[in-house]
Amino acid sequence: MTPHDEYLSVTELQIPSTSRTATLEAEVETLFGKKVLYLLRPGIHERAAAVLDRKDDTPTIEFRAEDEIEESTVFHELYHLKLLAEGFPIYNLSFSSAMTPYEGSLRQVYETIRAAMQHAHFFPIMRNQGFDPTAKSRSVITGMKVPQRGNRARDRGDFHNAADLFATHMAGDQIALAAHIEALRRCGWTFSVEKANQAYEVVRRLGFDQPRREADALVAALNVLFEDQPRAILQRWVANRQKRSTYSLNEAELML
């Protein structure tokens, strides 16, 4: 699609793009003071990802495959970039020695929780704009066969399932939510259902509409999900980090 140094606009991507997406793209570009860069990166594990170039904070959207690029995906990823520009931080995770063996698993849980919180900001907006932001996840969830516990350690398995259900709660799709809860209950994962509900209630109560509130709610949700594990702490908040010179972004350290 595009060589690495080429900037395309949503209309040049040659996807069916209406003014709603072009308007959001323009807004993101104003916030960053830069054009959005669209890249094809076949190695990534999700369909698309919003990232910042590590050297100069160029707002970038990566796609896994050219035939998976559609307007809903572009709008979704542009919104992730908009939240970054508005000061919702990039979190750096650090791990205590007790948690080091769980690092990979905890990173996945963190990513699920964080993405779910961001989606709760803009899925309602997408629905108002005529998109169906949960079309794909709903079809996966309603056809889901949840595996039995097998050999997985109870705590690990439980917080993965709980994090996934938390994400379904936050996505606001009632058909998917009912199907997800039913699938987990059918397989005996009632503990995960309870934990997800608790985390959801905590996050709704604390609110997450501002960066600082989002950070507190994120830490609270992680603590609910980790249950008896060492607690998550928001250790420090670094505003306008020097290394990110062309555009100042907040970063936060999350200690697990």
**CB nearest Zn ion: which residue?**
115
Q: Which amino acid is at 105?
A: S
Q: How far is the CB of 119 from Zn ion (least distance, A)?
A: 6
> Is residue 232 within 8 Å of 256, Cβ to Cβ?
yes
Q: How far is the CB of 91 from Zn ion (least distance, A)?
A: 15
Q: How far is the CB of 186 from Zn ion (least distance, A)?
A: 28
Contact pattern from residue 113 through residue 152 relative to Zn ion, giving x for each residue in contact according to CB under 5 A and a dash for the rest: --x-------------------------------------
Q: Give the list of residues 6+ apart from residue 193 with CB closer than 8 angstroms, or none.
A: 162, 165, 181, 184, 185
Contact pattern from residue 101 through residue 120 relative to Zn ion, giving x for each residue in contact according to CB under 5 A and a dash for the rest: --------------x-----
Closer CB to Zn ion, 61 or 184, in the complex: 61
Closer CB to Zn ion, 40 or 115, in the complex: 115
Which residue(s) pair with 254 in the sheet?
93, 234
Q: How far is the CB of 61 from Zn ion (least distance, A)?
A: 11
Q: How far is the CB of 76 from Zn ion (least distance, A)?
A: 6
**Site size toward Zn ion, by CB under 5 A:** 1
- Crossing angle (nearest 10°) for helices 190-206 and 211-226: 160
Closest residue by Cα to residue 11 from 80, 79, 74: 74
Task: Tell me whether residue 40 is exposed, middle or buried, using C-beta atoms within 10 angstroms of its C-beta: 0 to 12, 13 to 18, 19 or more.
Answer: middle
By the criterion CB under 5 A, which residues form the site for Zn ion?
Answer: 115
